[in-house]
Amino acid sequence: MLDEHLIEKICSAVEDGYDEQLRLTAETIRVPSLSGRESAAQDIVSAAMADLGLEVDRWQAELESVLGHPGSSPPAQGISGDRLDCVVGSVSTERSEGRSLILNGHIDVVPPGDIGRWSTPPYEPVERDGWLYGRGSADMKSGVIACLGAYRALLAAGVQPASPLHIESVAEEECTGNGTVACLMRGYQADLAVIPEPSGEQIVRAQAGVLWLHVDVPGDPQHASGSAGFGSSAVDNALLIADGIRALQPEWNALKGEHAPFDSIENPININLGMISGGDWVSSVPSQCAISLRVGLFPGWSLEDTVAQIRRRVEDIAEANDFLAEHRPVLREGGFKARGYVVTDAEEPWNLLIDCHRAIAGAAPEELLTPATSDARTFGLYGGFPALVYGARGRNIHSFDEAVDLDSLKRVTKVLALFIARWCGVRGIERRQM
């Protein structure tokens, strides 16, 4: 337990540093660090880490070698680069009074969509009515910077973690999760990981798995007038396939009773037709159409079996179609190939996180079951230690006018600071680093 005086000092240090924390968050939002293009944002994060006296390890992980890891996902075409820009800021300590901790957050963001539909431009952060707006404000640049804010507050309160702490700022969480895989391969291990994804101050108990699948569907192009026969539209063919795959969503959700704890939420499995591109001439029957789907799966499900099941579905549809039977669609993987994850063997940190949250927020946090994925799976399934996802309240994630609740973010920063102190233990600072 921390003494009340230290708790107060830490909380008040978060308050004191909050303007600077938001300034730094805004600075990262101004850099459109789409997945695969994170370097300029990583420059900001690594400089901020160095300012805090963290030992900064920055490296470019070769995709080629990351792909050898069982927790990796195949590269997302047109998104993933040949290298992953990785940044880890560490407090190494030989003393080990407490337990080691990884704080992990992703610096990449998803595209903003139609910029005209944002109230203010996505890469121009603005505060309005207690929210900070901008792409990545919630998901999750504010979370990455909150890790630094929490650490800064400890320093300002005159303490240091007494066990190793690694703050990871990772690439490509939004498409592959390979950034966190690269950190694991680099040797970063701990007793626990915490990821401040915008969970609405809830602690994630379980997350679904996610597959990104792509189908290239052919058509029989003809002049659109139909004067030479009507051909077979690749777009219509692709929609047959997409609808067939999407029909798996209710089928799989009907199985949720077998997949506790996901039996308690309405639609744990979601299948999203995320992208479609077909045809190259208005007056030609489309000769090709590419579709990309995001497919959820239950924890425990095998990735290979699930891909095989979808492949069979595609083949069945093709078999039943005169044209596609002779011109097979091609199913490709690319991007997420991520198993679901249920937090287990984490009673102690789970309860500690509840305690810390209660100390700041006055009540215990809810438990969250999420149909989305996060890099928590990488630690939990491949690192051998559990990962808790807990972060601020956000809104319009992946949508227009994404925003993070600034009161919530401040509470979470305090909770993270207390959690570091209690999980890692603290010691006095030998020399002032700020």
**Given the rule CB under 8 A, which residues bind its own copies?**
76, 110-111, 113-114, 117, 174-175, 208, 210, 212, 218, 220-228, 230-231, 233, 235-236, 239, 267, 270, 272-289, 292-294, 296, 335-336, 370-373, 395-400
Q: How far is the CB of 402 from its own copies (least distance, A)?
A: 10
Residue 164 vs 268, nearer CB to its own copies: 268
8 A C-beta contact, residue 380 and residue 341: yes
Residue 110 vs 354, nearer CB to its own copies: 110
Residue 160 vs 287, nearer CB to its own copies: 287
Would you state the structure tokens that stand for residue 361, as one six-digit string?
């927020």
Would you state the structure tokens that stand for residue 239, as one six-digit string?
């929609």
Task: Determine phi and psi for 51, rounding to 5 degrees.
Answer: -60, -30
Strand partners for 230: none
8 A C-beta contact, residue 108 and residue 34: yes
Q: How far is the CB of 287 from its own copies (least distance, A)?
A: 4
Residue 122 to residue 351: CA distance in whole angstroms: 37
User: Exposed, middle or buried by CB within 10 Å (0-12, 13-18, 19+), for 110?
Assistant: middle
Residue 192 vs 289, nearer CB to its own copies: 289
Residue 209 vs 386, nearer CB to its own copies: 209
Residue 330 to residue 118: CA distance in whole angstroms: 36
Q: How far is the CB of 74 from its own copies (least distance, A)?
A: 13
Q: How many CB atoms lie within 10 A of CB 433?
A: 12
Count how many residues are written for the chain. Answer: 434
8 A C-beta contact, residue 319 and residue 63: no
8 A C-beta contact, residue 83 and residue 61: yes
- How distant, in Å, are the alpha carbons of 5, 155, 162, 277, 407 from that of 158? 12, 5, 12, 56, 24
Task: Determine phi and psi for 430, rounding to 5 degrees.
Answer: -75, -45
Residue 230 vs 348, nearer CB to its own copies: 230
Residue 387 to residue 414: CA distance in whole angstroms: 19
What residue has token string 């994850």?
341
Residue 412 vs 418, nearer CB to its own copies: 412
Q: How far is the CB of 413 from its own copies (least distance, A)?
A: 23
Please choose, from the candidates 259, 293, 260, the residue with its C-alpha nearest in 3D space to the C-alpha of residue 275. 293
Q: How far is the CB of 419 from its own copies (least distance, A)?
A: 24
Q: How far is the CB of 361 from its own copies (least distance, A)?
A: 21
Residue 250 vs 384, nearer CB to its own copies: 250
Q: How far is the CB of 243 from its own copies (least distance, A)?
A: 10
Residue 223 vs 427, nearer CB to its own copies: 223
Q: How far is the CB of 204 from its own copies (least distance, A)?
A: 11
Please choose, from the candidates 180, 189, 152, the residue with its C-alpha nearest in 3D space to the C-alpha of residue 420. 152
Q: How far is the CB of 399 from its own copies (least distance, A)?
A: 4
Residue 306 to residue 309: CA distance in whole angstroms: 5
